[in-house]
Structure 1
Amino acid sequence: MAGNKLNSFRITVILVVFVMLCYVDWSPSAKQRSRRSPLSTRSTTIYNSCQNNGDIGVSFNDGPTETTSSILEILKDNNVKATFHLDSSNIKDTNKDIVKAIVNDGHLIGLKLASTLKLEQLKGLGINEIKEELEKEAKIIMDATGVNPKFIRLPSDLDKNENYLKAIDELGFILTDSVIDLSEKKNVDEFVKLYEEKLKKDYNKDTKTYPKFIDNNQDGLENLTEAWKKIITLFENYNAKPVTLDVCTGVKDKYRTENVSNNKSDSKSGANPKMITSFGSLILSIIIALYFFY
């Protein structure tokens, strides 16, 4: 009889453990899956293409500059929305009207890390120092625009720095890169040729495969404004459509909330009650089994 009770107890414990294991969600959340890099153990995704066939993530970095107004005029005339990664050090009282115009025209505001520190000094910063620098620059942009930037661009090589990737992730930024870069001085025809070659390379009418990359344009670069008068006419030829980076990546919230770090902490701590409840339920089940079979 005692043997039967022992066997029944063991079966009960196995069933309880099985049920609890089924209850716990071992798979990563949708957000975690989307942010996991297939080539690395880090969790920060660096976007360089759009999710929808034919979408082109158009972005201008380091504004506002003396050419920003003319770029805005071209985009407005062609009903194109883009992302402007602003350099906080370029925002002055004398150009805040241009910054406001970017927002009022419906463009997305992003951040370009533009510290006064040299690149080697930036590479040596710790995570907390990086966070302070990013939030300081984001606040300058937010004070000028009324929005808290979420999309971010980093200087060369910093997107490989684990401290920056961790800080960006914890602060709720979205990091993007580009597969076509118009940031070196060229004449108008060279700019247009470079862009069209990329559009043509990614276009296949037979398979209905269309370009869906993210670009990088250096705001303030000579000849870029004139080049975009021609570039903007190319999209239709390759069944492509310029979009802002939130549309390109499918990110739901295009700006951060001011307490994004606190929200992340809350979400992590919010998982603990579930773990405690699950563990408590398991212990309670074992106690009940012991009570009935012994």
Structure 2
Amino acid sequence: MKHAYLILAHNEFPILERLVKALDDPRNDIYIHVDRKTSVLPELKTAHAGLSILSDRIDVRWGDVSVVEAEFLLFEWAAKNGGYTYYHLLSGVDMPLKSQDEIHAFCDKQQGKEFIGFSKGDINAQIERKVQRYHLFPRDFRDHKGFFGFSRRLLRYVYLRLQDLFGMKRNQHIEFKKGTQWVSVTHDFVTYILSEKAKVLHTYKNTFCSDEIFIQTLCWHSPFRDSVYDLNNEGNGCMRMIRWKANQIWDWENKDFDILMASDALFVRKFNSRNLEIVDKLLNKVTGS
């Protein structure tokens, strides 16, 4: 049974090169979307896995629905090339924590389970701010340069405050869920996601960080909810080890290798090129080299 690895990348290509090596197995096909703003594409190759670097690339902007559009592009490219048993969505700065033998054996044992993480606790304020308000200039959430960037931020803030003052809410008829965007899902669920593409892109236009919300919300309101591996623990639900501090994802460092080795997760995010030693140790561990 073959797996598809779907990778969103835009920088830190030394990590991406090691990730591809870790996934290079005849049971896998690898699909990579590199942000259109990246002018020089990485030189990648595999000896065993199929490898496709998408020629149709999207200008991905943080917090914008363009992140969701890039995910759809990856799902579409993979789905049209064959019905994979599992589709693993990763970033280009992630790594597997287990060998391909272990990952395939685990997925075979849990066949039909959807590995999607759902946030616990009170998420109402986040949902209201992110997807029940209309956000101006969503492609420029991180544009802080010069007067034009400042003026956009000011207009966005003022319009959000007006919506708060007048109690304006959009998408009130939808019960939203959220969690990490990084998932491992079955072909049947991918088919369902793709069937909802037009509705998703319409619903999440001019929202904020919808990549953390749309898959969880689709799953919650579908029969696939009953197949989620763990609805009560976000990390275990998606089988990913992610370190959060002060509501931000922190990179793993060279000193953290033993912590990662103690994890039961399949994948870990995220790394940087300043700490390649731990990435190389992980690569050697999962490939047996």
- Considering Cα pairs closer than 8 Å and 6+ residues apart, tell me whether 1 or 2 has the greater RCO: 1
More helix by share: 1
Tell me, yes or no, whether TM beats 0.5: no
TM-score normalised over the length of structure 2: 0.31
Q: TM-score, length-normalised on structure 1?
A: 0.31
Rg larger in 1 or in 2? Answer: 1
